[in-house]
Amino acid sequence: MKLGRNVLVLSVTVFFILIALFSWYYLFPLYLKELGASESQIGFLYTLFTLSFTLLQLVGGVLSDRFGRKKCIVWPTYAYGLALLFTALSRSWLGASIFYLLGNLASAVQTPSFTAMVGESTERRGKAFSIYETFVAFGLATGPLIGGILLPYVSVRGLIFATSLVVLLSGFVRHLLLEEKRPLKATNGEISFSGPFPRPY
């Protein structure tokens, strides 16, 4: 069964990013508290993180249709990695929160393009999505375990720094290997697709 290179590239890179991210994600509120943030400030920040991620996905969908799936995955990946790098370098809770928010926005922008690219890369869309989501689930599950093993030896700041490197490397891999498969144009009420789709859907 051939699912296409895009599905494999997205699945593997997301897997490693999520392992790195979730090695410290649940500890980030405690990290902000160590930097001086209060409980109420942390609660407000997480509301802001969640709302901004939700709203920016709408923008990401528009940009994906305008500029293509690959660009809207690759460049936000680079931006996300740089934002995490500056999150790790920040010595105040406000600076760390601002850069984390910027990374969160970059991640949100690329989310619609992930869904679109997986669906447009193969006719076996159900199988493709099941494989992609399996990699996501394993990444989410493995990350906290890796974090628990590493924390006695590496600080949360160190884990965030390592995550930024993983994300930047993933951006480079995506830049090299992803192929654009988005719809090309509509003609006489029908949609013409590049890649493996011979018919509209």
Distance of CA 15 to the CA centre of its chain: 10
pLDDT of residue 119: 87
- 192: three-class secondary structure by DSSP: strand
Tell me, what amino acid is at 5?
R
- Domain contains 200: no
Written as tens digits, the pLDDT of the chain (201 aa) is 467 899 999 999 999 999 999 999 999 999 999 999 999 999 999 999 999 999 999 999 999 999 999 999 999 999 999 999 999 999 999 999 999 999 999 999 999 999 999 988 777 888 889 999 999 999 999 999 999 999 999 999 999 999 999 999 999 999 999 998 755 444 444 434 444 333 333
What domain range includes position 85? 5-179
Q: Structure pTM?
A: 0.86
Structural domains counted in the chain:
1
Q: What CATH number does the domain containing 158 carry?
A: 1.20.1250.20
Q: What is the DSSP string of 134-189?
A: HHHHHHHHHHHHHHHHHTTTS-HHHHHHHHHHHHHHHHHHHHHH-----EEEEETT
- 79: three-class secondary structure by DSSP: helix
Closest CA to 10 of 170, 162, 122: 170
pLDDT of residue 199: 35
DSSP code for 92: S
pLDDT of residue 61: 93
Tell me the two tokens of residue 154.
């590496």
pLDDT of residue 191: 39
- Domain contains 191: no
Tell me the two tokens of residue 163.
């995550």
- Domain contains 25: yes
- Domain contains 125: yes
